Structure 1
């Protein structure tokens, strides 16, 4: 099964699952004021370090760089 998936998508089941987790995290960053640690947990990552690494691997930048400036100001003052 994994071989067929890789042949058709070019990615392993683990890579696909991780990409889906990172995409969910990106949606949460865009639509919520949750802290990054909470976004990591809500997206299925066991640690913030793994979350940051997976995010940077997919998007080429850290997750915090996607946070809108007005959201950072609200989060910093909370």
Structure 2
């Protein structure tokens, strides 16, 4: 998918504030790209993205490297 990452997750990880921002962006855009930066905890990346998608009521369209594309359900 050729869209720019609209949410970047750093060393702070996935906080409630990040989840709120993702929900707001999903309302506006329907599809967003999330990128885990190098200083983020990337361990168990896929499981973290799956939990995040469930928490924000989205589905995962694509995971590539440490980047994921989510779509509003």
Q: Relative to total residues, which structure has the larger strand share, 1 or 2?
A: 2
Whose radius of gyration is greater, 1 or 2? 1
- How does the TM-score come out when normalised to structure 2? 0.37
Q: TM-score, normalised by structure 1?
A: 0.35
